[in-house]
């Protein structure tokens, strides 16, 4: 499918962090600047690329697209790697021209996990923070940026107007398909998110890789940390079960660490490495299939 897209369509963002910067601008840390003051969108150099990113994401993330991506990637036959190989692999995503991405990927991952550890959370929670962005290796398997990052949302039912740039769903074929364009679409009321297909990206991919190794609370964090239409806007209560709502308390607990853990002084990766080697070895096998 990738051959159908130009390079600009595959990679409209300067780097993947532009999506996260956009999320923070929409949901600034409590007690900081309000949304309208956080960044002047009209004057932002990045607004055009972010809008183009969402236009592509909302146009092409269809139910059939997700089914095809699951078929392709959930065979886990792309590459065998240890976690440390995967971290090194991710280093090739660093954009040397962007001053905001001068940390190596180990330091980048540590910013989230160390903030969690410093607050005294269980070690599986720390590991979840460390692992949550490793699914971005999808980019290195040739996937377009809009099939790796971005706010996630259910496919197979009506798109909520609470999703960022929801107007771009007008071009999505599912919005005209009577199977998929009603409130519940192919689902039943409060059927539970385990029965719902989400737009494809790094959240679902790393969840699927980790699902046999860490507690359910951590798995919810991995699978739904980019599901902003729900954990910030409550747009899909009608699909969620009581159990989902209980587990989303953990997603809500994780979210501030995901968004607001960047620190001016980078973590000391050399000093911290032995702790994380032991932590990874406690929960995960030596080699994982990606």
Partners of 81 in beta bridges: 288
Longest CA pairwise span in the chain (Å) = 56
Residue with tokens 């994401």: 57
Q: What is the percentage of the chain residues whose pLDDT exceeds 70?
A: 90
Task: Look at residue 253 and give its three-state secondary structure.
Answer: helix
Q: Return d(Cα 128, Cα 214) in angstroms, integer.
A: 8
Predicted confidence (pLDDT) per residue in 13-49, tens digit:
888 888 888 898 898 887 665 544 444 444 466 788 9
What's the pTM value of the predicted model, to 2 decimals? 0.91
Say if residues 28 and 166 touch (Cβ distance below 8 Å).
no
pLDDT of residue 32: 66
Q: Could you give the count of Cα atoms lying within 13 Å of 158 in the half-sphere of its Cβ? A: 12
Q: Could you give the count of Cα atoms lying within 13 Å of 209 in the half-sphere of its Cβ? A: 32
Q: What is the mean pLDDT of residues 49-67?
A: 96
pLDDT of residue 181: 97
Q: Return d(Cα 289, Cα 73) in angstroms, integer.
A: 10
More confident residue, 27 or 183: 183
Q: What is the mean pLDDT of residues 114-120?
A: 96
Cβ neighbours of residue 184 closer than 8 Å, sequence gap 6 or more:
157, 238, 239
pLDDT of residue 101: 46
Distances (CA, A) of 282 to 62, 141, 217, 286: 38, 28, 17, 10
Own/partner contacts of 107-113, CB < 8 Å, gap of 24 or more, are: 107/266, 107/267, 107/269, 108/133, 109/133, 109/134, 110/267, 110/269, 110/272, 110/276, 111/261, 111/262, 111/263, 111/266, 111/267, 112/257, 112/258, 112/261, 113/276
- Tell which residue, 258, 214, 269, has the closest CA to residue 112: 258
Kindly give the residue spans of alpha helices, DSSP state H, lying in 45-172. 47-60, 63-73, 83-90, 105-118, 123-131
Q: Give backbone dihedrals phi and psi of 115, rounded to 5 degrees, phi first.
A: -65, -40
Predicted confidence (pLDDT) at residue 182 exceeds the cutoff of 60 = yes
Predicted confidence (pLDDT) at residue 203 exceeds the cutoff of 60 = yes
Q: What is the mean pLDDT of residues 63-81?
A: 97
pLDDT of residue 30: 78
Say if residues 210 and 131 touch (Cβ distance below 8 Å).
yes
Predicted confidence (pLDDT) per residue in 259-273, tens digit:
888 777 889 999 999
Report the range of poorest mean pLDDT among 39-48, 57-66, 191-200, 271-280. Answer: 39-48
* Mean pLDDT over each residue of the chain, to the nearest integer: 90
Q: Return d(Cα 254, Cα 243) in angstroms, integer.
A: 17
pLDDT of residue 265: 80
Q: What is the percentage of the chain residues whose pLDDT exceeds 90?
A: 72
Predicted confidence (pLDDT) per residue in 219-255, tens digit:
999 999 999 999 999 999 999 999 999 999 999 999 9
Cβ neighbours of residue 108 closer than 8 Å, sequence gap 6 or more:
101, 133
What DSSP state is assigned to residue 226? T
Predicted confidence (pLDDT) per residue in 86-112, tens digit:
998 988 875 444 444 456 778 888 999
Structure tokens of 39?
């960044």
């Amino acid at each position: 499918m990738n051959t159908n897209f130009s390079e600009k369509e595959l990679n409209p963002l300067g780097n993947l962090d532009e999506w996260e910067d956009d999320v923070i601008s929409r949901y600034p840390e409590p007690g900081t600047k309000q949304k309208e003051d956080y960044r002047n969108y009209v004057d932002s150099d990045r607004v055009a690329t972010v809008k183009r990113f969402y236009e592509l994401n909302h146009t092409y993330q269809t139910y059939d697209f997700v089914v095809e991506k699951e078929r392709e990637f959930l065979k886990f036959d792309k590459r065998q790697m240890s976690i440390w190989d995967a971290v090194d692999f991710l280093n090739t995503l660093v954009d040397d021209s962007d001053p905001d991405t001068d940390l190596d990927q180990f330091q980048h991952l540590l910013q989230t996990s160390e903030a969690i550890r410093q607050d005294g959370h269980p070690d599986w929670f720390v590991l979840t923070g460390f692992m949550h962005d490793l699914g971005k290796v999808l980019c290195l398997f040739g996937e377009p940026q809009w099939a790796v990052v971005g706010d996630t949302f259910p496919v197979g039912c009506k798109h909520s107007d609470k999703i960022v740039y929801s107007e771009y769903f007008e071009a999505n074929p599912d919005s005209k398909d009577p199977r998929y364009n009603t409130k519940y679409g192919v689902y039943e009321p409060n059927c539970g998110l385990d029965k719902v297909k989400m737009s494809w990206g790094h959240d679902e991919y790393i969840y699927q890789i980790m699902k046999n190794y860490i507690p359910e609370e951590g798995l919810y964090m991995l699978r739904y940390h980019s599901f902003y239409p729900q954990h910030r806007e409550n747009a899909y209560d009608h699909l969620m079960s009581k159990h989902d709502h209980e587990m989303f308390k953990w997603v809500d607990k994780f979210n501030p660490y995901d968004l607001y853990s960047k620190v001016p002084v980078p973590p000391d990766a050399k000093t911290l490495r032995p702790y994380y080697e032991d932590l990874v070895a406690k929960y995960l096998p030596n080699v994982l299939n990606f």
